[in-house]
Amino acid sequence: MRERFNTVAIGVPAQQFLVRCHVSMERQVPVMTEFAVRLLQLTNRMDVDAFRTYFGLRGHETQDLLDILRGEGLVDEVEGTLSLTSYAVARFVGADDGLPRFTKIAERQSRPIFELLSFSPLPRMSSAIYWDNTLDVDWNASGESFGHTIDNAQEAFHRHFHEIERLDKDDEHRRAFDVYKIDAITAGKRFNVPLPIHFDVDIDGSVEYSLEGLESLPQELKSVVVKLTADRVGKLPQLPDHFSEFVRVFDDELLAQYLFKNTKDFDVTAPRINGDFNFPEYVHHVHGSKDGMIYDAKQSQALLGALYLEKNQARVLESLALALRNFKDTATAATIYPNEMFWVIPDSELWGRTDLIRSTVEALRKTVAKEWGEPVDLVAVSNASQTDILDKLRKRARLLLEAGFTDVLLGPAPSIAGRFELLILPGVHASAMYHWKVPSSDVVSVPVGFATTQPVKLRKLVVFLQRMCTFKLHRAFYNTEESAGDTKLRIDEASASHFLYLNHFLDASNDARTESE
């Protein structure tokens, strides 16, 4: 059994080139043969010494070349003077560039797109512009030389000419026999082709990557991409493990069954099963046979994998819609509606590296708008070091704002929280995940957790949220009022006082659902 737990896009660098070349329309003769006879066609006659000097040959090499020419019936030699045979002269074809031609050639312009790793040609459709949130990978480690793109493109054009012709010309009768020579190459703009990599985990906790799309890429390149991704993943920081705290703090009895020996009191000092989280049994019981077990008197559902994956997105949206409806139906005049939804992002560079995050944010906003009549703001709560320079903060903030978040809170987080993820509409609904490190890897983590409307859990999660928010130093947002609608990224200081209103959601009296029950 394999479960997908994340999808990360890698940006494969690519570039378009304009190649001005000549192509041969028929089989070519070997280059030395061709230019020997063309030279003799221009000179009419030539002594062997001049011939040898022109081609830069040693004595026996000259004889070897002449043997080839004589063997083909192209050249006669009389007393050290060479001339073409009448057979050779008859084989010349007309040309409009003033040079004698032994092979029929034609001028051609081609605009191939090469990925810059192995310089394989890509179909045009792959060159679409893409949201640049891909994981940066050390492409230089692939051993390819980025400094010689024109030379590499020239070599690749020769090597892949037939493939390029196939991509360019559907009619095979219009395709050339081969490339004859390249006259000039001009490089166009570089761009990234996104290559999604899916992360799957099996029941033993072994992680497997699989590539999606770009089927035309050579196996070798796919292997390079996977290796570089693995190497990049291997360089991610190793965060401390606080799984037991996650389970204990948020009172999750289901996870506790697979983590602690004694689940009654969540005794963290009790020996764990197999010395660790019993992932095989957890997956088998909770997600295998039950497909995301529902528990806590139907108020919680188990989740496995990133929240933005399609399967989890659907579950979260469904339970959120239900929670919104219940909240509205049971609200009184005194009930305070939350107007901000928070996404506390884990300290992981593998989080949110595809367009899935954008679609999830949009779907969350639409779901709230549909149930409550108006959307709520979506606030990303993201880790950033106190020493991060402004440019780094701006880059991080811009990516999240472009994903659809209204505001981004940036700043340090308590070390315990690095593996915690929380998506919460205070007082209404929350999804809490712990990024559990799989044993087969030093750093890869699988999100495990739950979506819940259970009031006690919700209140505990709001406490966690408040704590996370008060740690943040900066608040980033697009200011649409300035410069006549020109959106400008602003980064202000974050104020702890802004989050005092969350206290309302710690008060059970505001819990519409509790009152109704």
Partner 1 sequence: MVRVGLPSMVSPSLRSIHEDSRRQLYRESFDAELKERVRAVGYSMGLPRPYVDVAIEAHTTLGNVLERITILEKDESQSEFTDEANLLTQVYRLKEVFCEIASAKFSIDASPDDDLPGVFAKFLADAEFANGVPSPEKCKKLEQIVRLSSEFSSVLRNPRSNFTSFLSRSASVVAGTCVGIGKHALGIVDHAYDWVIVDEAARASPMELVVAMQSGRRVLLVGDHLQLPPIYPIAVEEKTSQILGVSRSDFRRLNNFKRAFASEYGKQVGRTLLSQYRMADSISQLVSTCFYEGALRVARAAPGNEYDALPAYIQKQVVWVDTSDQGRHAFHSEAETNEGALFNEVEANSVVAVMRDIAKSPEFLRALREKLRPSEVAIGIIAMYASQRDLIRKKLDQADWASEIRDMYTVGTVDSYQGKENRIIIVSIVRNKTERSVGFLHESERINVGLSRAKDRLIIVSSTSMWSGRTGMPMKRVLDEFSKMVENGKAQVVMSLELKGDKANA
Quote the least distance from Cβ 224 to partner 1, whole Å. Answer: 9
List C-alpha distances in Å: 415 to 264, 418, 425, 468, 471: 27, 6, 24, 11, 11
H helices present in 91-148, as ranges: none
Quote the least distance from Cβ 80 to partner 1, whole Å. Answer: 11
Quote the least distance from Cβ 226 to partner 1, whole Å. Answer: 5
Whichever of 29 and 473 has its CB closer to partner 1, that residue is 29
SS3 state at 152: helix
Integer Rg of the chain from CA: 33
User: Kindly report the CA angle at 386 between 380 and 387, in degrees rounded to 5?
Assistant: 125
Quote the least distance from Cβ 111 to partner 1, whole Å. Answer: 8
Q: How would you classify residue 375: left for phi > 0, otherwise alpha for psi between -120 and 50, otherwise beta?
A: beta
Whichever of 31 and 78 has its CB closer to partner 1, that residue is 31
User: Kindly report the CA angle at 444 between 201 and 432, in degrees rounded to 5?
Assistant: 80
Whichever of 31 and 297 has its CB closer to partner 1, that residue is 31
Quote the least distance from Cβ 485 to partner 1, whole Å. Answer: 29
Question: Is 62 buried (19+), middle (13-18) or exposed (0-12) by CB count in 10 A?
Answer: middle
Quote the least distance from Cβ 370 to partner 1, whole Å. Answer: 41
Whichever of 64 and 265 has its CB closer to partner 1, that residue is 64
What's the rounded Cα separation, in Å, for the pair 121 and 139?
Answer: 18
**Cβ partners under 8 Å of residue 396, min gap 6:** 382, 384, 408, 410
Give the binding site for partner 1 (CB under 8 A): 16, 18, 20, 28-35, 38-39, 42-43, 46-47, 49-50, 53-57, 60-61, 64-65, 67-68, 98-99, 109, 111, 141, 154-155, 158-159, 178-184, 186-188, 206-209, 223, 226-227, 230-231, 233-235, 276, 439-444
The residue type of 278 is N
Question: Is 44 buried (19+), middle (13-18) or exposed (0-12) by CB count in 10 A?
Answer: exposed
What's the rounded Cα separation, in Å, for the pair 444 and 357?
Answer: 19
What's the rounded Cα separation, in Å, for the pair 410 and 388?
Answer: 10
Whichever of 55 and 478 has its CB closer to partner 1, that residue is 55
DSSP H/E element including 330:
helix 310-330
What's the rounded Cα separation, in Å, for the pair 251 and 233?
Answer: 31
Whichever of 280 and 292 has its CB closer to partner 1, that residue is 280
Quote the least distance from Cβ 143 to partner 1, whole Å. Answer: 9
Whichever of 32 and 363 has its CB closer to partner 1, that residue is 32
Whichever of 157 and 477 has its CB closer to partner 1, that residue is 157
CB 167 within 8 A of CB 4: no
Quote the least distance from Cβ 187 to partner 1, whole Å. Answer: 7
279 phi and psi angles, rounded to 5 deg: -65, -45
What's the rounded Cα separation, in Å, for the pair 107 and 116?
Answer: 26
Quote the least distance from Cβ 102 to partner 1, whole Å. Answer: 11
Per-residue DSSP letter, 292:
S
Quote the least distance from Cβ 220 to partner 1, whole Å. Answer: 9
Whichever of 50 and 293 has its CB closer to partner 1, that residue is 50
Whichever of 158 and 370 has its CB closer to partner 1, that residue is 158
